Amino acid sequence: MSAPPDFHPAHHAPAVWFLKGLKAGLSVPAIVLFASYLGFGAVLQSVGFPIGAGLVSTLLVWALPAQLILIGGIAAGTALPAVALAVAISSIRLLPMVVSVAPYIRGPRRSLFWELVSAHYVAMTVWLEGLRMLPHLPGEARLPFTLGLGNMLVSISMMGTLAGFLVAGELPTPLAAGLLLLTPLSFTVLMVRNATGPTDWLALAAGFLLMPATLRLEGGLDLMIAGIGGGTFAYVAGRLLERRRRPS
């Protein structure tokens, strides 16, 4: 389904729309991203992951859960193909996001190259902000605006990553511990917020409880067992629960 073209009276050059997108990126979601990546930078520092590669992960992966699974998996000594699989599974959620927002980004002129480039910026924040703002923009403005918005948010997140990494080793113990708690704490709260059905709660509980039980296993199998095993259990159990709740 493509968005109806919205013929806004204002006509600007693409560069102007890019600048407007950059400006739109300076917002409350940018502060949230900065704080989230501050925690990620501190995690990088604590596990001894090189900062250059960490910054590149923010630029290229641009999905914090996938980045955490990547760094967590490597730190746990998980085999790289298994980490790649875990990252791929965690990133499948990006597919429906891109599918739903791409018609708004695309505008009137179809260009596969620019569609692929603009899709890179789609993660939770650009998806939400794109769905909110793009329908109000004229068709030709959407692609440059999205690129401006995305690049601003990525830049701010990279600054957060760097700041967290640099600061983590310098802070007094209570604050350094607080910075490292930021990621598990905020993700726990966000997962509780996003949990809607029994499957979500079961997946959350299974992943959380299976992890300490599998910590001592050799070969870094813990992520696979807790993630794929726990998630599959939650999916099956959740379906059974929902079927019992709504007898047809």
Which of 112, 132, 245, 247 is the binder for another protein (CB under 8 A)? 112
Does 128 interact with another protein (rule: CB under 8 A)?
no
CB of 222 to another protein, least distance (A): 7
Does 182 interact with another protein (rule: CB under 8 A)?
yes
Residue number with CB closer to another protein (136 or 193): 193
Which of 3, 176, 221, 241 is the binder for another protein (CB under 8 A)? 176
Three-state DSSP state, 109: coil
61 burial (CB, 10 Å; 0-12 / 13-18 / 19+) is middle
Distances in Å between the alpha carbon of 203 and those of 164, 210, 235?
30, 10, 8
Which of 17, 140, 160, 222 is the binder for another protein (CB under 8 A)? 222
User: Pick from 194, 165, 190, 191: which is nearest to 180 by CA?
Assistant: 165
Residues 142, 110 contacting (CB under 8 angstroms): no
Which of 166, 177, 217, 240 is the binder for another protein (CB under 8 A)? 177
Cα–Cα dist 113/42, whole Å: 35
Residue with tokens 């620019």: 114
Does 149 interact with another protein (rule: CB under 8 A)?
no
Please tell me the count of residues contacting another protein according to CB under 8 A: 104
Does 206 interact with another protein (rule: CB under 8 A)?
yes
Does 27 interact with another protein (rule: CB under 8 A)?
no
Residue number with CB closer to another protein (130 or 207): 207
Which of 19, 29, 115, 159 is the binder for another protein (CB under 8 A)? 115
Query: What tokens does 74 get?
Result: 């490597």
Instruction: Indicate the DSSP class of residue 197.
Output: S
Does 76 interact with another protein (rule: CB under 8 A)?
yes
